Amino acid sequence: MREFNALGAYPQPGKPRYVGPHLRGIRNRIAASYRDREYYDGDRNNGYGGYRYDGRWKAVVDTMTREYGLNENSAVLQIGCEKGFLLHDFKERFPGMKLRGYEVSPYAIENSMPSVRPLITQGRFEKLPFQDHEFDLVIAVGVVYTMTLADALSCLREIGRVGKGKSFITLGSYRDEQGFKLFKMWSVLGATILHVDEWQEVLKEAGYTGDYFFMTSDVLNLVEETPK
């Protein structure tokens, strides 16, 4: 088990992301919970505010290829692949690679990249419909912390089951109370937001052995709005 940021080459926002109790309220969280158009391509406070392909995942493909020793003969699974942007960039890099996506949102699949749409299966994340040790790398970005703790444990165990030991996940986390406050105000899908030390205990309980990265308010450049 290793703390490692496989998303280090992914472009980060240059400007602060402002958060506050009046920017993402319960109505926004309800809209996001359906994971349909409003979450992906609707108002920014409901989610992405327009989730479109722009090639920025290519740098992540480069990092993962180098770090995990991937090649044309590798098998890669992305859990929570959304519109398939990362899968598409892997396919461009390695046309013969075995790629699979697993996504809970029918809307995301229907609007996914045509190049990888046939490779994406719809379903819930706590039980994966794949064989034991089927994949050389399992990826779950922005997935685990959106689940209940019980389901997160199941998902982590499933990642270990279907993989061969190499995996990368991100975890919605905080290091202090201010970080928790900012992350909670920003996240519209966060169900299990834990202190970094608590996540360590969860990973141990699940028997997780892959790589992980703590997604915190500092990483996301979150700043609380100034009251007017």
For residue 11, the model assigns a pLDDT of 84
Looking at residue 14, its pLDDT comes to: 72
Q: Which residue has the higher pLDDT, 13 or 60?
A: 60
In tens, the pLDDT along 83-100 reads 999 999 999 999 999 999
- 60-82: pLDDT as tens digits: 999 999 999 999 999 999 999 99
132 forms bridges with which residues in the sheet?
none
Residue 81 contacts residue 109 (beta carbons within 8 Å): no
Rounded to 10 deg, the angle between the 196-206 and 149-162 helix axes is: 50
Looking at domain 2-10+57-222, its CATH class is: alpha beta
Q: Which amino acid is at 70?
A: L
- pLDDT beyond 60 at 158: yes
Cα distance between residue 9 and residue 100, in whole Å: 23
Q: Which residues, 6 or more positions from 201, have their beta carbon under 8 angstroms from its beta carbon? A: none
Average pLDDT on 141-147 reads 98
Q: How far is CA 8 from CA 57, 60, 68, 202, in A?
A: 11, 8, 15, 24
SS3 122: strand
The pTM of the full predicted model, rounded to 2 decimals, is 0.96
- Stretch 144-166: mean pLDDT, rounded? 98
pLDDT for residue 228: 57
Give the residues across from 215 on adjacent strands. Answer: 172
pLDDT at 164 over 90: yes
**Residue whose structure tokens are 């319960």:** 26
Q: Helix, strand, coil shares of the chain as percentages rounded to 5? A: 40, 20, 45
Q: Residue 208 in contact with residue 159, Cβ under 8 Å? A: yes
Domain residue limits, the chain: 2-10+57-222
